[in-house]
Amino acid sequence: MANLVNETKFAGLKVDAEAALTGRIMERAVDLDNYRRQLANGDPILDAVLSRIEVGFVDKAQRVQRNFGSEFPS
């Protein structure tokens, strides 16, 4: 029974860690999006260039999120 309780607590910690990482990625994506808009200052060409860089971050962050914990091995 104690082993089951420990495994359950550990699984909960893993889920909490994943949620924290996901939240951080979302916060950074919002920060970067706001910063891109500020830097572009309404210039559509610059906005397009900076958007490509921003999308690169989002793609990489999604890969980090998907690989986080390698499917939560025990």
pLDDT bucket at 5, cuts 50 / 70 / 90 = confident
- DSSP state, 41? T
For residue 60, CA distances in Å to 37, 54, 57 come to: 20, 10, 5
Q: What pTM was computed for the model? A: 0.79
Cβ burial, residue 30 (10 Å; 0-12/13-18/19+): exposed
| Mean pLDDT of all residues in 42-70 | 94
